[in-house]
A = this chain, B = another copy of it.
Amino acid sequence: MRLSELFKALGDVTRLRIILALDQGEMCVCDLAAFLGVTESAVSHQLRLLRQLHLVANRRKGPILYYRLDDDHVSQLVHIGLVHIRE
């Protein structure tokens, strides 16, 4: 089911932290890894999933890939979620 895949993607702590980080602005893989305190491999694996679901997109600058949120909905989902848990 397409919709549950979307929420499942946001339902993992590492992936959600990636999304929250990118909500602040674009970031490359190595900075994401350092910021989150996980290996670059782990981040890369999760970014692939997020990419496939069009939650994130990237642009290349030389050897570096800068990731960003793919569209507004992602940010909207996160923020409504944040409102929900304040209760």
Contacts and interface: CB of A to CB of B under 8 A. Distances in A.
Interface residues of A, number: 29
A4 B8 contact: no
Copies assembled: 2
Task: Tell me what chain A mostly uses at the interface: helix, strand, loop, or mixed.
Answer: helix
A65 interface: no
B4 A7 contact: no
Contacts of A17: 1
Nearest to A78: B3
Interface of A: 1-13, 16-17, 54, 71, 73-74, 76-78, 80-85, 87
B7 A11 contact: yes
A23 to B, nearest CB: 12
